[in-house]
């Protein structure tokens, strides 16, 4: 457990926030700083052919040690942290034997991780938790996944008596800005299937995710002196508020769960002459996603009709799709993960991802890739934490997947 803690803390301290406005890959060069370290760490544990390419993708491969016909299994996590919260100067704090009381993250700023606000903490009593100091996110999403993969592979390499097929390892940049799989070399990875180790709570196993789109709404106003503005002035900020008011008020993240879709405004900039709104649109059902996209365009048309000119321009772009369609024909990949969790003493909790992972795009690129828990909670914010005991269970699950595939040597047809 100590090795897992030390490895995770080491990675968490490295600044790797991605940038959604960047057009380069990786979106931030700082992600390569972690990539270089991961290559060295993989080589240190016996993955001699580990390398990082120019775009910041880290790959490593281990040959089979058995003549059995086994699948090549991939394990993937991402190196970047979300731009939603500060990821620089992360100072991990270790809280042993959590007793159920509030955890003071930052006394000076009165930042507290409380069970009242975060009731899942009741499941963590007695465990060792790692948090930030309350001024940054922690980075368990997804540096916990990276640490778990490397520690699991280290175990496999050190225990040569464990029969296994070929293993592929991949660490991606820019997952948090939706581009982690864009330049992933599926052909060179050469796996029959893979798992992203990028989930949250203990036992999570996911092969459904949102269909996703993004929308940019640009509004053009007309500025004149307010003293003579009647029937002439078009205040772009006012139009922006009108546009947003026409979106169903209950179809937002804070009022939805389960299989509910939503609209979410992520950015607003505006003045009198111009305004821009940015939205993400999510739904598990592709036809419902189309309905949501159409609604935004129809709102724009209605406002333009009102002003008798193109005041509003709505641009919508699909981002990724629900991997369920790709995974269902190869459900033994999910069954393998379930069996491996149970053998690790973990109850599988199959739920839809209310978000996306690299696995969504990878599945449509020909690499079926469900998602497995890391033990991290409250991602993308200062209240993020990870349970070390749950990280251990994720590591054991990875090891069991490798073992069980060698035992069953079932092939994807």
Retrieve residue 124's tokens. 């963590």
Q: Binding site annotation covers 133?
A: no
Q: Binding site annotation covers 176?
A: yes
C-alpha dihedral (224, 229, 235, 241), degrees to nearest 10: 170
CB contact burial 290-327 (16+ within 10 A = b; e otherwise):
bebbebbeebbeebeeeeeeebbebebeebbbbbbebb
- Phi, psi angles (nearest 5°) of residue 247: -85, 135
Q: Would you call 80 a catalytic residue per the annotation?
A: yes
Q: Among residues 175, 206, 208, 405, which one is catalytic? A: 175
Q: Binding site annotation covers 198?
A: yes
If you write DSSP's letter for every residue of 340-393 in order, what string do you get? HHHHTT---EE--BSS--HHHHHHHTT----EE--SEESTTSTT-EEEHHHHHH
Report the run of H or E that residue 41 belongs to, with start and end.
Answer: helix 30-44
Q: Among residues 41, 80, 142, 283, which one is catalytic? A: 80
Q: Counting Cβ atoms within 10 Å, is residue 391 exposed (0-12), middle (13-18) or buried (19+)?
A: buried
Q: Would you call 301 a catalytic residue per the annotation?
A: no
Retrieve residue 316's tokens. 């919508």
Q: Binding site annotation covers 78?
A: yes
Q: Binding site annotation covers 225?
A: no
Residues assigned a catalytic role: 80, 175
- Residue positions in the annotated binding site? 78, 141, 176, 198, 380
- Residue positions in the annotated binding site for Zn(2+)? 78, 141, 176, 198, 380
């Amino acid at each position: 457990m100590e090795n897992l803690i030390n490895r995770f803390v080491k990675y968490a301290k490295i600044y790797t926030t991605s940038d959604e406005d960047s057009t380069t890959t990786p979106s931030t060069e700082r992600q390569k700083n972690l990539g270089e370290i991961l290559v060295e760490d993989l080589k240190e544990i016996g993955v001699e052919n580990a390398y990082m390419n120019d775009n910041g993708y880290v790959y490593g491969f281990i040959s089979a040690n058995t003549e059995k016909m086994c699948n090549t299994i991939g394990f993937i996590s991402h190196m970047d942290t979300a731009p939603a919260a500060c990821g620089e100067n992360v100072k991990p704090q270790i809280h042993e034997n959590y007793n159920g009381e509030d955890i003071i993250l930052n006394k000076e700023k009165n930042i507290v991780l409380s069970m009242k606000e975060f009731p899942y903490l009741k499941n963590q009593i007695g465990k060792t938790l790692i948090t930030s100091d309350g001024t940054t996110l922690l980075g368990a999403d997804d540096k916990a996944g990276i640490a778990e993969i490397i520690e699991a592979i280290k175990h496999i390499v050190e225990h040569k008596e464990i029969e296994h097929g070929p293993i592929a390892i991949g660490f991606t940049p820019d997952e948090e800005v939706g581009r982690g799989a864009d330049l992933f070399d599926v052909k060179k990875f050469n796996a029959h299937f893979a798992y992203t180790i990028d989930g949250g709570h203990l036992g999570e196993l996911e092969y459904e995710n949102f269909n996703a789109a993004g929308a940019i709404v640009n509004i053009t106003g007309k500025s004149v002196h307010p003293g003579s503005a009647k029937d002439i002035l078009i205040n772009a900020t006012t139009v922006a508020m009108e546009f947003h008011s026409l979106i169903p008020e209950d179809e937002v993240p804070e009022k939805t769960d389960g299989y509910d879709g939503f609209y979410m405004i992520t950015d607003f900039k505006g003045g009198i002459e111009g305004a821009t709104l940015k939205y993400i649109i999510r739904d598990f059902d592709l036809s419902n996603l189309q309905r949501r996209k159409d609604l935004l365009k129809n709102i724009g048309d209605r406002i333009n009709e009102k002003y008798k000119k193109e005041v509003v321009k709505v641009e919508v772009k699909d981002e990724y799709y629900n991997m369920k369609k790709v995974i269902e024909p190869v459900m033994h990949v999910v069954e393998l993960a379930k069996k491996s969790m149970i053998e690790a003493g973990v109850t599988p909790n199959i739920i839809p991802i209310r978000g996306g992972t690299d696995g969504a795009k990878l599945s449509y690129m020909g690499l079926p890739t469900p998602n497995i828990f890391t033990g991290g909670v409250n991602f993308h914010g200062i209240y993020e934490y990870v349970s070390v005991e749950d990280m251990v269970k994720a590591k054991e699950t990875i090891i069991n997947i490798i073992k069980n595939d060698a035992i069953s040597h079932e092939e994807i047809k």
